[in-house]
Amino acid sequence: MDTITAIATRTSIRNFSGEEVSDPVIEKLLHAAMAAPSAMNAQPWEFVVVEDRDVLKKIAEHPALYASMTEKASVGILVCEDTEKSYKNFGAQDCAAATQNLLLAAHSLELGAVWTGIDDEQAKLFCDWFSLPAQIVPHIFVPIGIAAEDPVPKKKFDPEKLHYESF
């Protein structure tokens, strides 16, 4: 899929068919994620790949996570920052760039995915469930699967958000 088209037509998918996504495809997504830029090329990201259906169900059912779509996802990818590797306080932005690559790659491969942000309270659950070491901070959880919906992408271009030469 053409890049400009992929960017324009990607949208959050929250209903999945439950079908499997093959391991080579999942690896393609992770290659795309790690191709992102990072501050001082620190590449401070770490990824936990979750395919265990019981664990996906646990994530889906926890009331604090608002991630019920995970129940029928094929895989969930937890994007984490290694705070011992990140430069200044740019680690969360680096993880966000990697996640955007991952979402675009998924869309271009005709998969559905959705970015779910992780706040400090929610992070404690992921740290516990996935035995994250103290320096590893989970920032984003991405359920991925075969889309069982076909929503129209939101129109978000807003010329009022553009400022020329000065705000």
Provide, rounded to whole angstroms, the least separation between the CB of residue 13 and its own copies.
11
Q: Is 70 in the site for its own copies (CB under 8 A)?
A: no
**Count of beta carbons in the 10 Å neighbourhood of residue 114:** 21
Nearer Cβ to its own copies, position 42 or 148? 42
Q: Is 119 in the site for its own copies (CB under 8 A)?
A: yes
Tokens describing residue 11: 């949208």
Q: Is 39 in the site for its own copies (CB under 8 A)?
A: yes
Which DSSP symbol is given to 147?
Answer: B
Grouping H, G, I as helix, E, B as strand and the rest as coil, residue 7 is helix
Options 22, 128, 152, 156; binder of its own copies; rule CB under 8 A: 156
- Residues 130, 78 contacting (CB under 8 angstroms): yes
Q: Which class for 89: exposed (0-12), middle (13-18), buried (19 or more C-beta within 10 A)?
A: exposed
Provide, rounded to whole angstroms, the least separation between the CB of residue 14 and its own copies.
12
* Span near its own copies by CB under 8 A; candidates 14-22, 23-31, 57-65, 144-152: 23-31
Q: How far apart are CA 131 and CA 50, in angstroms?
A: 13
Q: How far apart are CA 78 and CA 104, in angstroms?
A: 16
Which DSSP symbol is given to 78?
Answer: E
Contact pattern for its own copies over residues 83 through 112, marking x by CB under 8 A: ----xxxx-xxxxxx-xxx-xxx-xxx---
The one-letter amino acid at 32: A
Considering only residues 41 through 60, tell me which ones interact with its own copies, judged by CB under 8 A: 41, 43, 45-52, 55
Nearer Cβ to its own copies, position 72 or 126? 126
Q: Is 64 in the site for its own copies (CB under 8 A)?
A: no
Q: How far apart are CA 81 and CA 92, in angstroms?
A: 7
Q: Is 162 in the site for its own copies (CB under 8 A)?
A: yes
Q: Is 115 in the site for its own copies (CB under 8 A)?
A: yes
Nearer Cβ to its own copies, position 61 or 110? 110
